[in-house]
Structures are given as C-alpha cells and as structure tokens.
Amino acid sequence: MNYETILYEVRDGIAEIRYNRPHRLNAVTAQLYEELDVALGEAVADRDVRVLLLTGEGRAFCVGADLKEHKAGRTAFDRRQYLQGEQMVCKRLVQLDKPVVAAVNGYALGAGAEMAIAADFLLMAESAEIGFPEVSIGNSLGGGVTWLLPRLVGLAKARELAFLGERIKGEEAVRIGLANRVFADAGFLDAAREFASRLATKAPYSMRLAKEQLNLSAERTLDAALVAELEGMTFAGTTRDWQEGVDAFAEKRAPVFKGE
C-alpha cells in the first residue's frame, strides 16, 4: 500500500512505522489512524516481522489530534468515527501478538502519549516529553489510558498525570515506571533499533505467550494464571524453537529461532 501519513519499512525482522506529518508535529488525522491500522495488519501478516517499532519523523513523536482537522461541518457521526479510530488502534497495539516498541523521539502528547503507552516497551529520547493534556483542555481521556496508566504507574500517580496534564521527560518517566529506557538524543533512533533487534532474536511464540499472559495478569487469580502458564509451557514444548533453545544451550551458542 502507498501510505501518505506514515512510512513503513521492514528490515532485519523489524517493521518500522514512522508517523510522517512532521509539518504538523505528526498530529493525527482520521487518515493516519486508518493507514496505521492497515500497516499493523501488514506487519502481523508478515512472518518475517518479529517486532514493531513506532516512532515519528521530525522533532515530535505525535502531539495528538490535529485541531485544524476539527472543522465546522463534521457531523457527530464523523467525530465519533474519528475517536473510534484511535480506540481501535490503541487496542490493537495492546493485543498485537508481536511485541511493540514505541520510540518517543520528541513530544508525545494526548493521542500520541496514548499510543506510546499502548506499546509493550516505551523508549524516550533524553529531551523528549510525554503528557496527557486532555482534562486541561476540556477533553476526555481515550486510547485505553484509564486502563493502562494505573497499571503502569499506580492509581495515585495516574491521577496526577491525568488531572494536571503536566509533561514529563524521559528520566522521570523511567523513574515512575511509565517508560522503560531513556537514551541520549544523539543516536536515539539507532539505540531504539538496537533494543528492537534484541527482541527480534527471541522466540516468537514465547514472546506472544508472555505478552498475552502478562496483559491479563491483573484480571486473573493465581490459580488461573498457573493454568494459563501450564498450557503455555506445554504448547511451547511442542515447537521447533523450544528444541532449538535446548540445543543451543547444550552447545553453548546463541539460538536461532524461526517461529516454528
């Protein structure tokens, strides 16, 4: 597909998706959500893709909704469809059966922050800022933030971030558990790609099981988690990758997993 609002490239097992509206700091439009949804589907269907990497062109990751697109004449149905687009994209990022890395290279605000925390791993450049300004501008939180944010930083801190709408930088985001790593601005994307490359060497089925089970952990009892883990271990033991892991350990070499 010829994308207009994003860039899509696959190399070395990583599908790199870059928001490509730098003239608007990658502010989102309905078209961007639609194209992102298609690109996610493309990455899922591609067996060569092990990891997805999301980032932005220019000096921002994504600053949220493009307010210039919210013109007079849009019907209530149009507005709801636009909002539904974000909800579905964020849900897909959370539930995708491949790990997702968000590389926040600049501002990640509103819908941009919501998509960033929907990823499995959040990496931030040293000068990047993330924030949830929705309440401060009379809007409401979306993208699963009310479900995700308390799980990441706890309810008290989630309230603070949502109610005050303050932007925080990478070091603080890591300190409170919102982000995983912070890297220097210089060479940030290379560092993010190296992080994604390390994930791409892991066993695909094992990562899929781990993601699903960790995402559901807060909703399961201990007994339910043990049953799910038992099923997961039993299934993993039937794969060729499991045997490759055993053989590589015995032979003192790095395993080469094929997703089989």
Q: List C-alpha distances in Å: 71 to 11, 63, 66, 74, 106.
A: 39, 18, 10, 6, 27
Q: Assess contact for 33 and 89: CB atoms under 8 A.
A: yes
Catalytic residue among 114, 212, 251, 260: 114
9: left (phi over 0), alpha (psi -120 to 50) or beta: beta
Within 10 A of 27 (CB to CB), how many other CB atoms are there? Answer: 22
Structure tokens that stand for 258 in this block: 């094929």
Within 10 A of 151 (CB to CB), how many other CB atoms are there? Answer: 14
Within 10 A of 130 (CB to CB), how many other CB atoms are there? Answer: 26
Helix (H, G, I), strand (E, B) or coil at 121: strand
Give the CA dihedral 70, 73, 76, 78, nearest 10 degrees: -70
In sequence order, the 6+-apart residues with CB closer than 8 A to the CB of 156 are none
Angle subtended at Cα 114 by Cα 200 and Cα 186, rounded to the nearest 5 degrees? 55
Structure tokens that stand for 109 in this block: 């605000």
Is 219 designated active site? no
- Which parts of the chain fold into alpha helices (H)? 30-45, 76-95, 111-118, 145-153, 155-164, 170-175, 188-200, 204-215, 222-236, 240-250
Catalytic residue among 86, 134, 219, 231: 134
Is 114 designated active site? yes
Q: Which positions are annotated as active-site residues?
A: 114, 134
